[in-house]
Structure 1
Amino acid sequence: MSGYLLRRAGQAVFVLWAAFTLSFVILYLLPGDAVSAKLGGGEGGITVTPEQLAQARAEYGLDDPLPVQYGKRLLSALHGDFGRSVTTGDGAAHMVVSALPPTLAVTGIAVLLAILLGGGVAFAGTYTRLPWLRQLLLSLPPLGISLPTFWVGLLLIQFFSFRLRLFPALGTQGFASLVLPAVTLALPTAAIIGQVLARSLRAQLTEPYAETASAKGASRLRVHFGHVLRNAAVPALTVTGVVAGHLLAGSVIVETVFSRDGVGRVTAAAVTNQDIPVVQAVIVLAALVFVVLNLVVDLLCPLLDPRLAAARTPEVARG
């Protein structure tokens, strides 16, 4: 097991390095930079001399050759320092970490709702004997995947905020402000989980062990819930780890639509202002969340299906 964890740790380090490197190359290939935009493109008619612009670029290390900039930023990032925001002057890592709690609150509730909604629809759709109800329930996940996130958010605001006045449309204050953003994030995630789980449930229901359990007198509910669901949950759990990692990216849209504070709004502002240190901090954070969630999923899957642990044992022995 230790060999497996070491290999996964090595893969995690590689993913984080690749995320940092690719983001650095792509961002620095873009025309212009944040310093030029901040000092040279003022709407108030501010005139900046070339000397002042060169001094500001030197202050942020933008006058060094690109390989030198990369080496310095990578070395600093290894110590958790992504530099200072060109726009605000605050530490980029501090800005992202400070904005994280509101985003984690929304995404945490969204993941829970997605599992409950997606799992409930998949279970009910494969359990019911009514053809019309089965068709209705199993058609919901593909529909949910096709709905644009921003459109869902605007629709929820229109109905639950403006018409029913049940939840606030904007802001970050109180639990009520979490409901609509969390539902907006949860619906497409629940659709993916429901689609994968429904397909897996239908496949497991045709396996010999399910027929054997029924032949021994187990009720249909016990076969479905006690035997089939556990094995069918492995693919759904795997895809949950993947889509949950993407919720941080989805928060950019949701926090913009609902005017919430969080990593999403910090990211949107940093991209608009070409604030490279902040953007890189967000990208590395998203990669870290993705890596950690997938490692947790890999460790949980053998608990659901012991055959996975048995299949992994030779790999661990060789490692």
Structure 2
Amino acid sequence: MTRTSSSSAAVAERDTVPAPRRPSVSRRVLLQIGRKIVAAVVVLWGAATVAFFAQTALPGDRATVILNIRAGQAQVRTPAELAQINAQYGLQRPLIVQYFDYLGGLVRGDFGTSYQQFRPVTAIIGEQLGATVILSLTAILFAWILMVVWVTLTAGRGPRIGGVGSTVDVFAAGLPAYWLGIILLLVFGLGLRWFPVLSGNGVNGLILPALTLAIPLAGFMSQSTRAEFERALDQPFVLSARMRGMGDWGIRLRHVLRHAIIPAVTLSGWALGATLSGAVIVESIFNRPGIGSVLVGAVNSQDLPVVVGIVTLVAVVYVVANLLVDIVYTIVDPRMEVS
């Protein structure tokens, strides 16, 4: 009797202890978003730090390098000339002070002054950034069109057609941009003369550079979308649509595709940074205006502030684009963790 009473009391006491409260959905969402923002800030800080110390690690005196760039030749510099440059760029200050000044400038959107053009780096990049952004967005649009058409045509069509589709995905994803751009230029520019050899600013000159970036990107997106597409074809809602008399193309485009493109949406954040960095090569091949031509000229003239500014800008775009995709996924489904 005593044992039974003790057990009943223990059960009653256990039932009266309140269960630990789980954080609400909104709180979990905010925590996940906060962690992603902190991680993005850390990545950007690391990229900026590497860029700064890469400049200081170069051999030679920075003041002498700046003067030689301006003069276009190497010369022996007087102490007065070096002192003037050191004062202008703050090179005489302790390295840690220069580092924090550099970080503060980045936060304010100040990438420094060009060694060669004597102008703010932000102004130099801003003049050519629009052309590169248009090229990148056009390439992403082309990649989506190619991916949707190719996956819809070949996914779930049997082992033979599906195997061909998967092989083309892998082949396209592995194409180097410089090689593909030259081939497209030789075939459609010099051979068929459908597009201009020198792209310039015209719409017709945008097609080949955008396809050069879009084809490998479409291959990456197709690889991730194909598996989801074939998995969606086996879902009950597909059988239900067929029983209602809907045709195969209607099922694929209206029902299956919207379930299969989630991986491609995730890759779109990465794609924006990838196309911006790939534009450096493509703009050089097709002689297009943009930050690619600016970067090539800065590298050739050893204009380090411009080089670091463009590299930092690409890193910022890449990280911010992926952060926005992560935040959208977290809001849509808090259970989903996007890397």
Q: TM-score, normalised by structure 1?
A: 0.84
Q: Please say which of residues 112-121 and 289-298 is displaced more in the overlay.
A: 289-298
- Does residue 117 of structure 1 match 2:146? yes
CA 1:262–1:164 in structure 2 vs 1: closer, same or farther (change >3 Å)?
A: same
Mind listing any 5+ residue stretches in structure 2 that lack a counterpart? 1-25
For 1:256-295, what aligned pairs fall within 5 Å after superposition?
A: 256-295=284-323
Q: Secondary structure of the residue that 2:155 maps to in structure 1?
A: helix
Q: Secondary structure of the residue that 1:311 maps to in structure 2?
A: coil
Aligned length: 308
CA distance in 2, matches of 1:117, 1:123: 10
Deviation at 1:33, TM superposition (A): 6.4
Name the Cα RMSD after superposition: 2.8
Q: CA offsets per residue over residues 3-39 of structure 1, 9 Å max, x none?
A: 2555544444333322212221233223246653343
Q: 1:73 to 1:302 in 2, by over 3 A?
A: closer
C-alpha displacement at 1:243, in angstroms?
2.3
Partner in structure 2 of residue 61 of structure 1: 90
User: 1:126 — aligned with what?
Assistant: 155
| 2:127 corresponds to 1:98 | yes
Provide runs of 4+ in structure 1 moved above 6 Å.
Answer: none
Task: Say which of 58, 77, 82 aligns to 1:48.
Answer: 77
Q: Secondary structure at the match of 1:88?
A: coil
- The letter of the residue matching 1:57 is N
Residues 146-295 of structure 1: pairs in structure 2 closer than 5 A: 146-207=174-235, 209-211=237-239, 214=242, 218-295=246-323
Deviations 1:210-246 (A, max 9, x none): 4565566654334433333222211121122212221
For the 8 Å contact 1:127–1:224, the answer to whether it is kept is no
Is residue 2:114 matched to residue 1:85?
Answer: yes
- Inter-partner Cα distance in structure 2 for 1:96 and 1:157: 27
Percent identity at matched positions?
34
Deviation at 1:185, TM superposition (A): 1.0
Cα 1:35/1:184, change in 2 over 3 Å: farther
Supply the distance in 2 between the matched residues of 1:238 and 1:63 (Cα, whole angstroms): 46
- Indicate how the Cα distance of structure 1 residues 215 and 299 shifts in structure 2: closer, same or farther if over 3 A, else same: farther
Judging changes above 3 Å, is the alpha-carbon distance between structure 1 residues 37 and 309 closer, same or farther for their aligned structure 2 residues? same
Q: Check the 8 A contact 1:234/1:301 in 2, yes or no.
A: no
2:102 to 73, 77, 94: 73
Aligned 8 A contact 1:197 1:235 in 2:
yes
Paired with 1:310 and 1:45, the residues of 2 have a C-alpha distance of: 59
Indicate the larger mover: 265-274 or 80-89. Answer: 265-274
Contact 1:34–1:275 (CA<8 Å) still a contact in 2?
Answer: no
Match for residue 44 of structure 2? 16
| Alpha-carbon offset, residue 69 of structure 1 | 0.9
Structure 1: stretches of 5+ with no match in the other structure? none
Are 2:333 and 1:309 aligned? Answer: yes
Residues 238 and 256 of structure 2 are in contact (CA less than 8 Å); yes or no, is this contact kept in structure 1? yes
Change (3 A) 1:207 1:201: same
What amino acid maps onto 2:124 in structure 1?
Answer: M
Q: 1:82 to 1:310 in 2, by over 3 A?
A: closer
Deviation string for 1:223-270 (max 9, x for gaps)? 433333222211121122212221111011011111222111222233
The alpha-carbon distance between structure 1 residues 48 and 12, as it changes in their structure 2 partners (threshold 3 A), is same
Distance in structure 2 (CA, Å) of the matches to 1:295 and 1:43: 42
Structure-2-length-normalised TM-score: 0.80
Q: CA deviation at 1:132?
A: 4.5
Native 8 Å contact 2:201 2:289 kept in 1: no
**More deviation, 58-67/155-164:** 58-67
Is the 8 Å Cα contact of residues 121 and 138 (structure 1) preserved in structure 2?
no
The superposition leaves residues 185-211 of structure 1 with CA deviations (integer Å, 9 ceiling, x where unpaired) of: 111111111111112212333445545
Which whole-Å CA distance do the structure 2 matches of 1:212 and 1:45 have between them?
A: 77
SS in structure 2 opposite 1:260? Answer: coil
Matched letter for residue 266 of structure 1:
V
